[in-house]
Amino acid sequence: MKAVEVKELTKRYGTLEAVKGISLSVEKGEIFGLLGPNGAGKTTTINILCTLQKATSGEAWVNGFPVARQRDEVRRSIGLVFQDPSLDDYLTAYENMSFHAWCYGVPGGVRRERIRMLLEMVQLWERRNDQVKTFSGGMKRRLEIARGLLHYPAVLFLDEPTLGLDPQTRRRIWEYIMELREQEGLTIVMTTHYMDEAEPCHRIAVIDEGRIVALDSPEGLKRRLGGDVVILETDDNQGVALELERRYSLAAELRDGSLRFTVDRGSQFIPELMRSLGQGIRSINLRRPTLDDVFLSLTGHDIRDEKPDSRAEIRAHFRQRGGPRR
């Protein structure tokens, strides 16, 4: 049995088709990433998998249960960290945990132990009796992660778990997630639009405009690019691009005033390049491909070319910093 199985899933909002036929499966114990820009349909997909929204067509199973028909079984099988905060700010950290434990029927005997263990793990035990509204964005996120694990879920869904957090906090949160996975043998399905955040995944589905454009391990994805990424700045970009095409059959792409292409064994190619085209070159940058490069080559646009949807991120950011309260 797969941890998650999705077949031809679609979701329509009026005339907008947010998810256009996604199929994938996630193995038990896997860390699976959905990587894509804002508005790609990641949250919509997660919401369907966790029974918060109904699919327009297609089917999905989580932990062996069909999400459309056995909602409660699915709900009991999953832990969730939503994209936007979902804590009760007026309750304390401990009360938020207790509320969750009650909702999921965690038996009284283990409840206290479990809450204590998780709060200690995310280093919030000392603050357990403080109201959540006094917490920073990072602390709230940690609390949400602890809460998502409280009822021993089989699959943990993390929707942009580190959105709006500073790099240190992001790293810390990833450490917790990894530690927890080791301990509990969890399956993790996460979404992100930070490329570096997707690196620890076993497999990544690159998703753009509601479609999966590639599905592979991070290494596999990078291998597809074929070699290393070279970025050239020259006096005459047009001319150099033509030369590259003619002499080496390399398709260079002009972006932000520089040429970018991928080539096998880049370190040996550069001396050769200097010999043939040396005069006009102002700078050369050679590097291993990143997932950013992969995304760019798969979709033809940068993952950070934000759609108007980045509004959602600003809002999330604002809230985590403790925006207006009633």
Partner 1 sequence: MMEMLRAIYIIWYRELLRFVRERSRMFSALAMPLLFLVIFGAGFKNLVGNLAGGVDFVTFMYPGIVAMSVLMTAFMSGMSIVWDREFGFLREVLVAPIPRMGVALGKTLGGATVAMLQGCLLLFLAPVVGVALTPIKVALLLPMLLVVALAIASLGVLIASRMRSMQAFQFLMTLVFFPMTFLSGVFFPVTNLPPWLMLVVRVNPVTYGVDAIRQLFLQGMTLPAVNPSLGINPTLGALGASPGKDAPYALAVTLFGHPMTMLQDMGVVALFGAVVLSLAVWSFNRQD
Residue from 84, 184, 233, 313 in contact with partner 1 (CB under 8 A) = 84
Q: What minimum distance in Å lies between the beta carbon of 162 and ligand ADP? A: 14
Which pair of tokens denotes residue 235? Answer: 């006096």
* Burial classification of residue 125, based on how many CB atoms lie within 10 Å of its CB (0-12 exposed, 13-18 middle, 19 or more buried): middle
- Say how far apart CA 211 and CA 115 lie, in whole Å: 39
- Say how far apart CA 215 and CA 195 lie, in whole Å: 15
Q: What minimum distance in Å lies between the beta carbon of 103 and ligand ADP? A: 24
Do 50 and 75 meet the contact criterion of CB atoms below 8 Å apart? yes
Residue from 36, 37, 39, 85 in contact with partner 1 (CB under 8 A) = 85
Site for ligand ADP in 17-46 (CB under 6 A): 18, 36, 38-44
Q: Among the candidate windows 14-22, 88-96, 256-264, 303-311, which touches partner 1 by CB under 8 A?
A: 88-96
Helices vs. strands in the chain: H and E counts, helices first:
12, 14
Do 132 and 143 meet the contact criterion of CB atoms below 8 Å apart? yes
Do 259 and 241 meet the contact criterion of CB atoms below 8 Å apart? yes
Q: Which helix (H) or strand (E) holds 175?
A: helix 167-184
Instruction: Name which of 130 and 233 has its Cβ closer to partner 1.
Output: 130
Q: Which helix (H) or strand (E) holds 144?
A: helix 137-149
Site for ligand ADP in 293-322 (CB under 6 A): 309
Of all residues in this chain, which one has the CB nearest to ligand ADP in the complex?
43
Do 97 and 150 meet the contact criterion of CB atoms below 8 Å apart? yes
Instruction: Name which of 178 and 314 has its Cβ closer to partner 1.
Output: 314
Do 68 and 75 meet the contact criterion of CB atoms below 8 Å apart? no
Which pair of tokens denotes residue 84? Answer: 């936007």
Site for partner 1 in 182-241 (CB under 8 A): none
Q: Which helix (H) or strand (E) holds 108?
A: helix 108-121
- Show the binding pattern over residues 213-232: x = contacts ligand ADP (CB under 6 A), - = does not: --------------------
- Show the binding pattern over residues 130-149: x = contacts partner 1 (CB under 8 A), - = does not: -x------------------
- Show the binding pattern over residues 44-83: x = contacts partner 1 (CB under 8 A), - = does not: ------xxxxx----------------xx--xx---x-x-
Is 43 a binding residue for Mg ion by CB under 5 A? The answer is: yes
Size of the residue set binding ligand ADP (CB under 6 A): 12
Angle at 233 between CA 229 and CA 237, to 5 degrees: 105
Residues that bind ligand ADP (CB under 6 A): 13, 16, 18, 36, 38-44, 309
Residues that bind partner 1 (CB under 8 A): 50-54, 71-72, 75-76, 80, 82, 84-91, 95, 99-100, 102-105, 131, 319, 325-326
